[in-house]
Structure 1
Amino acid sequence: MAFDAWAPPPAGPLALNADEVHVWRASLRPPPHVLARLEMHLSADERARAARFRFAEHRTAFIAGRGAQREILARYTGLPPHAHVYAETSHGKQSLAGAAAEQGIRYNVSNSGDLVLVAVSRGRELGVDLEKLKPMPDGIDIARRFFSAPENEIFAALDEAVRDLAFFNCWTRKEAYIKAVGEGLSMPLDRFDVAFAPGEDARLLRTRGDEAEAARWSMAALDPGEGYVGAIVVEGDGWRPVLYDFGSV
């Protein structure tokens, strides 16, 4: 099952209960008036980074993604979008710093194609990943390099008609997990197994080196829209996803 009920958000500040994880879907190609609004939220450093992009489409995507992230987080922190300050771990995982850090808000972001996902929780570490579907003629070769032995055995046995979808199911679920853990690319993708066959519920099946680690996390598949797949991994269980469409703001 992939969660796909993206709804308009309510007006004003949003409460974030401990048993909820909110996931926002936003376009990286917003209309000009929206892009102008989002650009106003950026820090001086973000503006400088945007200006360094050679191609306009990449500059637009960066502004739209960072601006939407700031507007979304403001719904939970109560701070103006431009006031958010970020910290970053040695492996590149971002978190809120300053006054917002004391509120226990956790977030994670992923973008691909024309979309970005922003996942937000309170007091739970999390990771989200998004990928645009495309043909993968070399999927088996890439899987052999990065997937675990049990995953490769399942992947190779799949019908060719569903293999591309299965590849991205596996990839997003594995990426969401390493982002939740916060180790980034320093964690080998073959150190753990996920369920990924089409129609199979997303699950973290096992982790090597620490067998109890898998029980610390729960996973869900996301359907961000036609031509995309997504996944989210959240610390603990007993939570439910709430999906919002930023384009409805």
Structure 2
Amino acid sequence: MAGDVWVPAPAGPLALPHDEVHVWRASLRPPPSVLARLEATLSADERARAARFRFDEHRIAFVAGRGVQRGILSRYTGLPPAALAYREGSHGKPELDGASAGAGIRFNVSNSGDFALYALTLRREIGVDLELIKPMPDGIDIAQRFFSAPENEVFAGLGDDVRDLAFFRCWTRKEAYIKAVGEGLSMPLDRFDVAFAPGEPARILRTRGNPAEAERWTMLSLDPGSGYVGALAVEGGDWRPVLFDWDAAG
């Protein structure tokens, strides 16, 4: 994979043009001083949820993930991180609520391993997925359960040296799409096909039931860093990605 260029965000408030999609990469293992600052911005409900985690590593990842999310969204809404409110949209997809709801910002989040991705658009649906690449000795069996027949045909024809990466390319692209359309686990993964063979650009090849649906979305492969793979699905095609690094932005 060609490496993506993740750059520090400009200081201060940020605008989100209609023709841009902003994606932030953040570590979920910040220093204790940063973690304390992030935790101070969480709601009472979020702090209560964090306290229920049995293991520190899971609590830290939750606090960092929610705190960074609030910090990022505050830069676009103009509200303090602690003042942001959320609501659940269809199928539980989170949305901004209250004073920030009218801004038209859509966002989606994914985390895996030590990192998280935050994707934001203006008035267009979006889904993002991030996965830590790991050996998949049962990859063919899982693919047969969840991938479509055309995807399984491609997957079975790949060599062992590229099969693990191909599995996660396919998985992240499918997850990004179902998160974008907002149907979550209610949408069977074999209802649509994505391109994922080595060297093949990310895209939705076809959707069953509504063939025109595939043309509604644009898909992008993301390279979040060594050992990870990501994907982005965005409504429409007249946009360009802008990649920010939360650590560098502070």
Same fold (TM over 0.5): yes
2:90·2:182 contact (CA, 8 Å) conserved in 1? no
Structure-1 residue corresponding to 2:182: 182
Deviation at 1:89, TM superposition (A): 2.7
Q: What is the alpha-carbon distance in structure 2 between the residues aligned to residue 198 and residue 134 of structure 1?
A: 17
Q: What is the alpha-carbon distance in structure 2 between the residues aligned to residue 199 and residue 37 of structure 1?
A: 42
1:194·1:206 contact (CA, 8 Å) conserved in 2? yes
Q: What is the alpha-carbon distance in structure 2 between the residues aligned to residue 218 and residue 112 of structure 1?
A: 23
1:109·1:116 contact (CA, 8 Å) conserved in 2? yes
Tell me the amino acid that sits aligned with residue 117 of structure 1. L
1:2·1:221 contact (CA, 8 Å) conserved in 2? no
Structure-2 residue corresponding to 1:172: 172
Structure-2 residue corresponding to 1:38: 38
Structure-1 residue corresponding to 2:110: 110
After superposition, the CA RMSD in angstroms is 0.9
Structure-2 residue corresponding to 1:80: 80
Deviation at 1:96, TM superposition (A): 0.5
Structure-2 residue corresponding to 1:92: 92
Q: 1:182-204: per-residue Cα shift (whole Å, max 9, x none)? A: 00000000000000112210001
Structure-2 residue corresponding to 1:227: 227
Deviation at 1:168, TM superposition (A): 0.0
Deviates more, 1:224-233 or 1:198-207: 198-207
User: Percent of aligned pairs with the same residue?
Assistant: 75
Q: What is the alpha-carbon distance in structure 2 between the residues aligned to residue 15 and residue 33 of structure 1?
A: 28
Tell me the matched-pair count: 249
Q: What is the alpha-carbon distance in structure 2 between the residues aligned to residue 66 and residue 15 of structure 1?
A: 21
Q: 1:95/1:3 Cα in 2 relative to 1: closer, same or farther (>3 Å)?
A: farther
Q: 1:19-59: per-residue Cα shift (whole Å, max 9, x none)? A: 00000000000011110110011000000000000000000
1:111·1:117 contact (CA, 8 Å) conserved in 2? yes
Deviates more, 1:92-101 or 1:167-176: 92-101
1:3·1:221 contact (CA, 8 Å) conserved in 2? no
Q: What is the alpha-carbon distance in structure 1 between the residues aligned to residue 55 and residue 41 of structure 2?
A: 21
Indicate the SS of the match to 1:42: coil
Deviates more, 1:84-93 or 1:187-196: 84-93
Moved over 3 A (4+): none
Structure 1: state its 5+ residue gaps.
none
Q: 1:202-236: per-residue Cα shift (whole Å, max 9, x none)? A: 00111000001001110000000000000000000
Indicate the SS of the match to 1:91: helix
Indicate the SS of the match to 1:7: coil
Structure-1 residue corresponding to 2:197: 197
Structure 2: state its 5+ residue gaps.
none
Q: What is the alpha-carbon distance in structure 1 between the residues aligned to residue 229 and residue 4 of structure 2?
A: 10
Q: What is the alpha-carbon distance in structure 1 between the residues aligned to residue 62 and residue 8 of structure 2?
A: 23
2:204·2:219 contact (CA, 8 Å) conserved in 1? yes
Q: 1:67-123: per-residue Cα shift (whole Å, max 9, x none)? A: 000000001000000111111135221110111110100000000000000001101
Q: 1:53/1:181 Cα in 2 relative to 1: closer, same or farther (>3 Å)?
A: same
Q: 1:173/1:67 Cα in 2 relative to 1: closer, same or farther (>3 Å)?
A: same
Deviation at 1:165, TM superposition (A): 0.2
Does 2:236 match 1:236?
A: yes
1:170·1:194 contact (CA, 8 Å) conserved in 2? yes
Q: What is the alpha-carbon distance in structure 2 between the residues aligned to residue 170 and residue 23 of structure 1?
A: 20
TM-score, reference length from structure 1: 0.98
TM-score, reference length from structure 2: 0.98
Q: What is the alpha-carbon distance in structure 2 between the residues aligned to residue 65 and residue 4 of structure 1?
A: 22
